[in-house]
Amino acid sequence: MKITAINLYRFDIPLKAPIAISLGTIENARNILVEIQTNEGITGWGEGSPFWMIVGETQASGMAAAEDMARLLIGKNPLDIEGCLNALLRYLPAHPTTRSAFDMALYDIAAKAARMPLYQFLGGSKRTLITDETIYINTPERMVEDALRIQEKGADAIKVKLGTNLRDDIARIEAIRSAIGPNTPIRTDANQGWDVVTASGVLRVIGGMNVQYCEQPIKRYDIAGLRQIRQQSNVPIMADESLFDAVDAIRLVREEAVDYFNIKLSKSGGIFEALKINAIGEAAGIPCMIGCMSESRLALTANAHFASARQNVRFYDLDACFEHANDPIHGGITYTGYQIELPETPGIGAEVDPAFLKKLPVLTIS
């Protein structure tokens, strides 16, 4: 099998409303869509969601990198996933989000060629996945409204974005906990917004409020600070921005800095690297979460396949499409409340609506 052509799309999806985290505000999902065609008629689809404030990529820089990456893959065997990805990595060692879109499309082709759904191709089985839903930074009053809405929909857990300052962040959690009662777990995410002192202060206060964990309380490079917070806090600490690849995972294990790993395909460079990160976590006794950026149900479906295939993935944060104003995906995962159902069709099992696809700017490399 050979790669004969690759189509690159600017995959823009409007949001229902802007979403705010400590690092900035997102107005629209500006993603990258990759379609790899082969001489055997099998097509693979991949999507990357470049969160510039986390991965250092934009849609524009990703599209420029994707053009070069596509030229490198023309004529190669798509079933040689490691060889294809190593070629991309040698040429551009950065750009993990762009690379993840190619990675996803290659796995889609391989699973289709094997006539297996992706979770089965990865050596796993179908499991029950239940996602949380995220509340973004706002006034305590508005965040309480969101929490009550999510609780009413039957959420097993609510994720709350924090990372502004000690007083306001404590007020947000206190207000939410008071409104929803003691039982629904709260998952917090500061997106690097605190320093060590602030993080320790916030977590000391909210630690008795059924807070399941805190993601990335401080700057991604401050591993010693993460270890210090973990030692002082009764809230488990999860690495997100500190964890891009397997090398980061090894360092976090060696430093005993965190309790959990957050794996995101758009951050890790795709499934190939995510499998390594999870294996390191599993060997070290560190459970993982599968997270997301602002992907459509196409990439969310690939994320869900990966999570289902690896039992060390214990938490699921696959709610990005809840914020999208429209859904341009055919097939893919479905949501019953917050429970995720995987497709049984070969490959990822999701494709872009052809009518929506025709509206997107496209660059063809052949």
**Which amino acids are annotated as binding site, given as ranges?**
189, 215, 240
Report d(CA 27, CA 20) in Å as an integer.
Answer: 9
Which H helix or E strand runs over 260? strand 260-263
Assigned token pair, 214: 């805190």
Residue 100, phi then psi, degrees to nearest 5: -65, -30
* Binding-site residues from annotation for Mg(2+): 189, 215, 240
159 is catalytic: no
264 is catalytic: yes
Pick the catalytic residue from 264, 267, 276, 358. Answer: 264
Q: Which of 345, 357, 323 is nearest to 26 (CA)?
A: 323
Q: Which amino acid is at 203?
A: L
Q: Which long-range contacts (CB under 8 A, 24 or more apart) does 329-336 make?
A: 329/296, 329/297, 329/298, 329/301, 329/353, 331/301, 332/297, 332/298, 332/300, 332/301, 333/297, 333/300, 333/301, 333/304, 335/131
> Could you identify the residue written with the tokens 């690896």?
310
Pick the catalytic residue from 76, 112, 126, 161. Answer: 161
Name, in order, each residue with C-beta under 8 angstroms of 283's C-beta and a sequence gap of 6 or more.
Answer: none
Find the DSSP H helices in the chain. 52-55, 59-73, 81-91, 96-113, 118-121, 140-152, 166-180, 196-206, 223-232, 246-254, 265-268, 271-284, 297-309, 354-358
DSSP state for residue 324 in the 8-state scheme: B
Name, in order, each residue with C-beta under 8 angstroms of 170's C-beta and a sequence gap of 6 or more.
Answer: 202, 205, 206
Catalytically active residues are 161, 264
